[in-house]
Amino acid sequence: MLGAPVQRAEDPALITGTATFTEDLTPAGTLYLAILRSPLPHARINSIDTTLAMSSPGVWAVYTGADVADFVIPPAPNPKRNIPRRFALAQDRVLMPGDPVAAVVADSLAEAIDALEQIDVDYQPLDILGDLDEALVAPPLHEGQESNVAYDRAKGDWEAISAMDGVVVEGVVEHPRVAPAPMEGRLAIAQWADGVLTLRITTQAPHLIAEELARCLDLPNSSIRVITGFVGGSFGSKFDLAEEEMLTVFGSRQLGRPVKWVEGRREHLLTVGHGRSMRARYRLVADEEGRIKAYAADWLVDLGCRHRYLSFNTITPRMGTGTYDIASYAWRLRGVWTNRNPRGIYRGAGRPEATLTIERAMDHLAAELNLDPAEIRRRNFISPDQFPYQSVAGYTYDSGNYGFNLEALLEAAGYAELRKEQAEARAEGRVIGIGIASYVEVCGFEDWGAARVVVAPDGSVTVLVETLDQGQGHRTAFAQIVSARLGIPMNMIRVEQGDTSTSPYGWGTSGSRSLAQTGSATQTAADGVAEKAKRIAAHRLEASPGDIDLANGLATVRGTDVTISWKEIASIAYTGEVPPGDEPGLEEEVRLRSQGHNFPFGAHLAVVEVDPETGSVRLERMVAVDDAGVIVNPMLADGQRHGGLAQGVGQALWEGVRYDESGNLTTATFVDYLLPAATGLPFFELLETETPTATNPLGAKGIGEAGAIGSTPAVVNAVCDALGCQDLQVPLTPEQIWRAIRSNRE
Amino acid sequence: MTVNGSRWSGDVPARQTLCDFLRDELELTGTHVGCEQGACGACTILGDGEAVRSCLMLAVQADGMELTTIEGMGEPGNLSTLQAAFLRHRAFQCGFCTPGFLASAAEILGSGRRYSRRELRDMLSGNVCRCTGYEPIVEAVFECQR
């Protein structure tokens, strides 16, 4: 069963429209919440007049900042760490376009929106922080802070690297903001009964939401139940508690009715945590043979106006050296406040920024030395015998085989032939580019996964997990694991998630952790159940537990035809005679800590053709060789890779959040914010290598984010290769390419 | 109007969109709203056999029309050919955009013409899927042309 492309149990419901997404629920008596948002990026609120709105039809309540001044949205404010306080509604200032200013609760959504238009806010516009360089020296956005630099961390000897002799390349890599943009936006329905809050919410991490709410409301965790149904994608955007979700909870408690909020797409693009949001400067020093002597990178992070989960994280510099054996490394990471929405989590969360930076630098170095981009990588890869590898940035890479992986990519793509074809095409005046990128990422952030395997008296099995499938197919993968360990068919196993009153406490789904962490916990829990089942079978069959095999729904004494059925074992566990020393029942809950991080890796290759007249880029081929260790379900794994590749290509070619000079968001619709469509993508060519990890019993590494990490630099490197320049920035808009071609000709 | 084979008549608010009418009044929640801007195609249904963005159309405009939503295309255990192909190719992950894709694909297949995979990619580009990267969707629709 393990390793097979098993179909998902939830698919028939999803394909027929009968699966219940949270938005489909409307408890009796539900009221609707709508939010008045700031039209300005930075302004003082002189006054808010809600009189007319209060008397608007259907309105139950209108809230402003004063009403929610007592509630602190996580993370907790911390003056020492420059973490400002976060409110559900603006207090005396708005700090970004779309900042929540007031909220209306009404009988219907239409009436709530009508009432919003009756609210009169008097704003006094203030200077805006948009440009990062200006923000560095501008007066501080947050009172009580000395500057707009929220943090400034550095390691390594930058001066020594600056003074180092050799072949030197330097450049800037922009990582513009991108929107996670799941097809389903955020939403929440809050309901109080007998002092217990039930929050139905579309999220990746129900337990974390419950915990944050408990802190926010000063209630015990046990008084909060978070329920999550089907989730219409997330990609990082539904991880932590947001202002709007807090407002449904507040309104519901005040009014004693269920309160529902559904995010509009414009709201999503305005206020969701944007991904990436950095600018990097690199300096790469090598010898004449292209062997790297030192690398230095300075990342300047556009934090937006507030702190959110992972805002201050150092994953990017710590993954900065990528797949290369680099002895001398210096980095700096600064987070800067601006009048934009908070930087949040998006697929890859820190690793794409590390990878795009060094992979651009590597191609730059290759061009400087007139070496093939594949060759420059070969000369610098960490070699297989160096694992576990202690990176200069502080991580211990568990396992890897980067050279082998790259050669597999080059062979699959027909690299030598491609270069010939490129030369021929160029002779005909066609502009073709080939780009490769090697990546390694970090997953399994030293936490544990949690799973409970419960066998009912009839032998059917419920697996309760703390992770939250948003389309990945966890239910199927986890059921495959249990099926393999208990020797029972998949249709006897149901995987349950998304209800904090029943699922074990845990971190939820993020950082490509679900299979490696929680899948491994599931396997270990299933093993515990299997051991006890064997003891029960052995006791009944008068054999030794060590001689019992579980397969095909039977326990068999090895080498004999003496059997007892799985169902009988389950029945004995609850109503029969269990072996001496065992208690009744058949279930196991496991929290399993990983032995360090796991480091998935791979190499991607892109072939592009550029139209020199229009500057448009056509992605002709995308080849990916990924290594995520042991694969449990190749169909599900390929789905993750495909989706990641599309998002990574999207970041390279089309996606980019833009603001105008006045600080207004100009990408607030899907007409302006371009997502990848079927027409712009090629058929993906996937291969895999398999280098298991010893950090978890499955031997699995993360696969959810890999596609989005390697593909962006592969495409950018391909376009830079096509044009013979090193300073193009994502997204590679036709305008930018057209201008680059024109300036090349001059 | 006729919705999934059943006649419906009544009054609707003049400003109510067709998708809100389907979801809130008829409780046909299989139609999902992805952007309310006509750009993502998640809310696509069939109106008189043509793919229609139910977020861009008012309910009153559907007066007299024959509508088919995801609920009218098949049910678990009795899937349409297209749904079965989507299942086989795993042409969806979170499934939120899928009802819209099925409607757009049904319109394409309804033409009776055979298209290349490349052409199908162009024709399916009015619908956005953030999960799959589209390849299995294109394959599923291509297969149903046979």
pLDDT in tens, A716-733: 999 999 999 999 999 999
Q: Which residue of A has its CA nearest to B130?
A: A182
Chain B interface includes A8 (CB < 8 A): yes
- Does B92 share its domain with B137? yes
CA–CA separation, B100 and B87 (whole Å): 15
pLDDT given for residue A75 in this prediction? 85
- Residue where a domain stops, chosen among A256, A271, A286: A271
Q: Say yes or no for a CB contact (<8 Å) between B131 and A18.
A: no
The predicted model gives A410-419 an average pLDDT of 98
pLDDT, one tens digit for every residue, chain B (146 residues): 999 999 999 999 999 999 999 999 999 999 999 999 999 999 999 999 999 999 999 999 999 999 999 999 998 889 999 999 999 999 999 999 999 999 999 999 999 999 999 999 999 999 999 999 999 999 999 999 97
B96, B116, B139, best to mutate vs chain A, most A CBs in 10 Å:
B96
Position A746 pLDDT exceeds 80: no
The predicted model gives A212-218 an average pLDDT of 93
- Does A612 share its domain with A554? no
A332 is a domain residue: no
CA distances from A6 to A2, A160, B96 (A): 9, 55, 21
Count A/B contacts: CB-CB distance under 8 Å: 168
User: H-helix or E-strand containing A629?
Assistant: none
Chain A interface includes B133 (CB < 8 A): yes
- Does A421 share its domain with A357? yes
- Does A52 share its domain with A120? yes
pLDDT in tens, A426-444: 999 999 999 999 999 999 8
- Does B113 share its domain with B58? no
> SS3 letters for A575-623?
HCCCCCCCCCCCEEEEEEECCCCECCEEEEEEEEEECCCCCCEEEEEEE
* Parent domain of A262: 11-126+186-231+238-271
- Does B46 share its domain with B94? no
- Does A482 share its domain with A587? yes
pLDDT given for residue A6 in this prediction? 82
- Does B43 share its domain with B67? yes
Position A37 pLDDT exceeds 80: yes
* Closest CA of chain A from B30, distance in Å: 4
A327 is a domain residue: no
Residue A216 has, within 13 A of its CA and on its CB side, a CA count of 28
Q: Which residue of A has its CA nearest to B35?
A: A265
Position A88 pLDDT exceeds 80: yes
Q: Please tell me the pTM assigned to this model.
A: 0.97
A38 is a domain residue: yes
A336 is a domain residue: no
Q: Say yes or no for a CB contact (<8 Å) between B79 and A16.
A: yes
Q: Match 């001398």 to its residue by tokens.
A: A328
- Residue where a domain stops, chosen among A213, A246, A271: A271
Tell me the CATH number at B24: 3.10.20.30
- Does B6 share its domain with B56? yes
- Residue where a domain stops, chosen among A531, A566, A593: A593
- Does B99 share its domain with B137? yes
Q: Which of A266, A643, A675 sits opposite B93 (nearest CB)?
A: A643
Computed over every residue of chain A, the mean pLDDT equals 96
- Residue where a domain stops, chosen among B42, B72, B102: B72
Q: Say yes or no for a CB contact (<8 Å) between B96 and A15.
A: no
**Structure token pair of residue A544:** 């030794």
- Does A572 share its domain with A615? no
Chain A residues touching residue B129 (CB < 8 angstroms): 183
Q: Say yes or no for a CB contact (<8 Å) between B128 and A183.
A: yes
Chain A residues touching residue B58 (CB < 8 angstroms): none
- Of A72-86, A396-410, A547-561, A713-727, the range with the lowest mean pLDDT is A72-86
Chain A interface includes B104 (CB < 8 A): no
Give A 409-428 residues with CB within 8 A of chain B.
none
Chain B interface includes A231 (CB < 8 A): yes
Which backbone phi and psi does A629 adopt, to 5 degrees?
70, -140
- Does A589 share its domain with A608? no
- Does B12 share its domain with B60? yes
- Does B50 share its domain with B89? no
**Structure token pair of residue A395:** 């991580």
Cis peptide before A77 (omega within 30 of 0): no
Asked if the interface predicted TM-score (ipTM) of this complex is over 0.95, the answer is: yes
Chain A interface includes B35 (CB < 8 A): yes
Positive or negative: CA dihedral A392, A395, A396, A400: negative
- Residue where a domain stops, chosen among B37, B54, B72: B72
- Does B119 share its domain with B139? yes
pLDDT given for residue A308 in this prediction? 87
Pairing of strands A554-557, A563-565: antiparallel
- Does A529 share its domain with A454? yes
- Does A437 share its domain with A457? no
- Does A695 share its domain with A643? yes
- Does A422 share its domain with A452? no
Q: Comparing C-alpha atoms, which of A256, A201, A247 is closest to residue A28? A: A256
Chain A interface includes B124 (CB < 8 A): yes
A583 is a domain residue: yes
Burial class (CB in 10 A: 0-12, 13-18, 19+), A577: exposed
For chain A, the domain total comes to 3
A264 is a domain residue: yes
* Parent domain of B92: 81-144
pLDDT in tens, A696-713: 999 999 999 999 999 999
pLDDT given for residue A1 in this prediction? 64
- Does A512 share its domain with A546? yes
- Does B86 share its domain with B68? no
CB atoms within 10 A of CB A43: 22
Tell me the CATH number at B96: 1.10.150.120
CA–CA separation, A703 and A439 (whole Å): 13
- Does A653 share its domain with A700? yes
For chain B, the domain total comes to 2
Share of chain A above pLDDT 90, in %: 95
The predicted model gives A469-489 an average pLDDT of 96
Tell me the CATH number at A727: 3.30.365.10
